[in-house]
């Protein structure tokens, strides 16, 4: 197969010309080729493999393109990269090698190899295809492992015996699952069995790299494909034991509860249809992690998980820390969504008070919309009628939220009377009464005892102060 027409970007001709004048055989390889054949948009990096010194060749290319300033050399990895800012493109060069292709290997690359050696040592057949940039066969696809067939049949397979490929670089187990999720491919049975056998080798991979793959899985249209594979291969238990613990159904007195693992990954799929926010998807994944610890059975009430949202939100910092996810406002956002994840359901009753709605608006603040998306995603019943009923209930909650918002504006509510004003009003030194009054004003507004207005709040402050035995000094 010749792909000369398909590689139309002038950069390929330029690299080919330089390769010819330098007499270095050069090939395009990896993800670019795969995505070209899939008609899929490839993120802007192109990998070139050269027979010989990859770094030296990259230097020549940078020189001839007048891009020396944009050349980065990674000596230990045996690679070099040229950034073409105007095209938002990165050209990566590597010398063909015999040993496994590892971008961040700490060991210097010593052993040069042939193109076939290099292709042997890549992760998957679909990532091992290359296109020649040499004058004798420019554009020809070199596909020694029938990667093309695997693309057609939607199969992830390793070029070598899978145990070898995965043990060379255990991150590839995560990559296999990530590609299966992104491309909606199946992992070949042989390969999947090898992942299960080698799962413990994942422990030598850094949390950052595992998390980068998890995030890519999470950004897919149907992340459950990946989480199911992680679960069935045994990797999930190692990298996310809290999610693994959700699996299983217990039965007491003929009463069962649902399998919270399969429920959870369905919730992640559901929310992925309504939001691209990665952190809302994380909240969906983690929304029930407090359940195993809060699970109780009682003859009268059956299975209960009281307080699981609170417990779950408390578990999040440890998980974020372990996975090297950001310990900042992103984490607090996930915690908040998990913590509030049962609140909207409580508002779905007809006789719900304004104050309960006001409190939720206040607690969720600007994240109320994403919280509603989470609770709607949380409906996973097979019974269509029931789903419709619950969705309808949330529609009513949404209406109430709008109504209260318009009326009271408590979303990013700042108390209309400040601490300083309280101090001045009663001529106080710092003392606990200030906090008590402040809190009482906030509660009165949320409760609806007084409107969210300055004058009413001041009046309330005076009364509250008197109750506490303070003397009001009018100005």
Closest contact distance (angstroms) between CB of 43 and ligand CTP is 5
Cβ proximity to ligand CTP: between 215 and 294 the closer is: 215
Is 31 one of the binding residues for ligand CTP (CB under 6 A)?
yes
Instruction: Supply the DSSP symbol for 119.
Output: H
Residue 242 touching ligand CTP (CB under 6 A): no
Of 43 and 429, CB closest to ligand CTP? 43
Task: Return the residues of window 37-56 that contact ligand CTP according to CB under 6 A.
Answer: 43, 47
Residue 129 CA to residue 123 CA, distance in Å, equals 11
Q: Which of 150, 169, 228, 421 binds ligand CTP (CB under 6 A)?
A: 169
Q: 100: helix, coil or strand?
A: coil
83, 97, 157, 172: residue in contact with ligand CTP (rule CB under 6 A): 172
Residue 354: burial class (beta carbons within 10 Å; 0-12, 13-18, 19+):
middle
Looking at the Cβ atoms of 174 and 265, the one nearer to ligand CTP is 174
Q: How far is the C-alpha of 215 from the C-alpha of 19, rounded, in Å?
A: 37
290 contacts 283 by C-beta, under 8 angstroms: no
Q: How far is the CB of 102 from ligand CTP (least distance, A)?
A: 6
Window contacting ligand CTP (CB under 6 A); options: 151-159, 166-174, 200-208, 387-395: 166-174
CB 279 within 8 A of CB 326: no
Residue numbers 62-121 binding ligand CTP by CB under 6 A: 101
CA distance linking residue 378 with residue 288, whole number of Å: 10
In the complex with ligand CTP, which residue's Cβ is closer, 123 or 378? 123
The answer to whether 171 and 123 are in contact (CB under 8 A) is no
The distance of closest approach from Cβ of residue 224 to ligand CTP in the complex, given in angstroms and rounded to an integer, is 20
**Token couple for 134:** 């040499």
Of the candidates 122, 244, 358, 442, which one interacts with ligand CTP according to CB under 6 A? 122
Nearer to ligand CTP, 47 or 269 (CB): 47
Residue 11 CB: number of other CB atoms within 10 A?
Answer: 19
User: Which own/partner pairs from 365-372 qualify as long-range (CB within 8 Å, at least 24 positions apart)?
Assistant: 365/411, 365/412, 366/411, 366/412, 367/333, 367/336, 367/337, 368/401, 368/411, 370/275, 370/277, 370/280, 370/283, 370/337, 371/337, 371/340, 371/341, 371/343, 371/344, 372/344, 372/397, 372/398, 372/401
Q: Which stretch binds ligand CTP (CB under 6 A): 168-176, 219-227, 313-321, 361-369?
A: 168-176
Closest residue (Cβ) to ligand CTP? 31
Under rule CB under 6 A, residue 335 binds ligand CTP:
no
Spatial separation of the C-alpha atoms in residues 218 and 276, rounded to whole Å: 10
Q: Does 171 bind ligand CTP (CB under 6 A)?
A: yes
290 part of the interface to ligand CTP, by CB under 6 A: no
Helix or strand run (H / E) with residue 466: helix 454-467
Q: Which is nearer to ligand CTP, 213 or 228 (CB)?
A: 213
Chain residues in the site for ligand CTP (CB under 6 A): 30-31, 43, 47, 101, 122-123, 127-128, 169, 171-172, 175
């Amino acid at each position: 197969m010749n792909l000369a027409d398909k590689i139309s970007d002038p950069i390929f001709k330029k690299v080919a010309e330089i390769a010819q004048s330098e007499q270095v055989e050069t090939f395009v390889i990896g993800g670019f080729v795969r995505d070209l054949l899939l008609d899929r948009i490839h993120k802007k990096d192109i990998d070139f493999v050269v027979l010989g010194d990859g770094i030296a060749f990259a230097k020549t290319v940078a020189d001839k393109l007048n891009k020396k300033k944009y050349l980065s050399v990674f000596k230990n990895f045996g690679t070099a990269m040229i950034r073409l800012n105007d095209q938002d493109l990165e050209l990566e060069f590597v010398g063909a090698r015999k040993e496994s292709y590892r971008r961040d290997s700490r060991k210097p690359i010593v052993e040069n190899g042939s193109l076939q050696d290099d292709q042997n040592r890549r992760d998957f057949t679909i990532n091992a295809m290359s296109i020649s940039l040499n004058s004798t066969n420019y554009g020809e696809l070199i596909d020694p492992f029938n990667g093309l067939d695997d693309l057609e049949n939607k199969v992830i397979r390793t070029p070598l015996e899978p145990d070898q490929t995965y043990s060379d670089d255990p991150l590839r187990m995560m990559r296999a699952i990530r590609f299966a999720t992104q491309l909606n491919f199946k992992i070949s049975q042989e390969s999947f069995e090898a992942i299960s056998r080698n799962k413990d080798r994942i422990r030598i991979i850094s949390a950052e790299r595992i998390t980068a793959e998890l995030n890519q899985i999470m950004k897919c249209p149907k992340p459950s494909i990946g989480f199911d594979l992680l679960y069935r291969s045994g990797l999930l238990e190692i990298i996310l034991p809290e999610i693994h613990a959700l699996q299983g159904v217990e039965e007491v007195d003929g009463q069962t509860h649902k399998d919270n693992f399969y429920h959870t990954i369905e919730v992640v799929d559901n929310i992925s249809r309504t939001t691209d926010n990665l952190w809302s998807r994380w909240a969906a994944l983690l929304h029930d992690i407090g359940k195993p610890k809060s699970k109780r059975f009682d003859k009268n009430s059956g299975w209960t998980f009281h307080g699981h949202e609170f417990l779950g939100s408390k578990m999040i910092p440890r998980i974020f820390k372990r996975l090297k996810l950001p310990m900042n406002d992103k984490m607090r956002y996930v915690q908040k969504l998990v913590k509030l994840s049962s609140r909207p359901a409580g508002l779905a009753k007809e006789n719900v008070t304004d104050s309960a709605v006001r409190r939720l608006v206040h607690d969720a603040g600007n994240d109320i919309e994403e919280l509603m998306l989470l609770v709607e995603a949380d409906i996973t019943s097979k019974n269509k009628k029931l789903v419709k009923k619950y969705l309808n209930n949330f529609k009513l909650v949404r209406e109430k939220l709008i109504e209260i918002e318009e009326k009271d504006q408590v979303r990013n509510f700042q108390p209309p009377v400040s601490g300083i004003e309280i101090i001045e009003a009663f001529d106080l030194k710092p003392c606990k009464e200030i906090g008590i009054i402040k809190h009482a004003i906030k509660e009165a507004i949320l409760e609806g005892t007084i409107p969210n207005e300055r004058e009413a709040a001041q009046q309330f402050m005076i009364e509250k102060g008197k109750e506490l035995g303070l003397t009001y000094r009018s100005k």
